[in-house]
Structure 1
Amino acid sequence: MLPGYSIEQWYNYKFSPETAPLEVQLYFTGARIPMMKAEQIKHEVALRNGVTVKDIMGRTRVRKITKARKEAMYEVFKETDYSLPTIGKVFGGRDHTTVISNILRHCRDNNLEIPRGANWKGRSQ
Structure 2
Amino acid sequence: MSEQKPNGSCKRAYIYARVSEDQQAEQHKALDQQEYDTRQYCEDRGLSVAEVFRDAGFSGSDRSRPGLVRMLLLANSDDQPVDVIVASDLTRVARDLESSIVLKGQLERAGVELQFVHQTP
**Same fold by TM (over 0.5)?**
no
More strand by share: 2
Higher helix share: 1
Q: TM-score range, shorter-chain basis? A: 0.3 to 0.5
TM-score, with normalisation over the residues of structure 2? 0.32
> Could you tell me the TM-score, scaled by structure 1's length?
0.31
Higher Cα Rg, which structure: 1
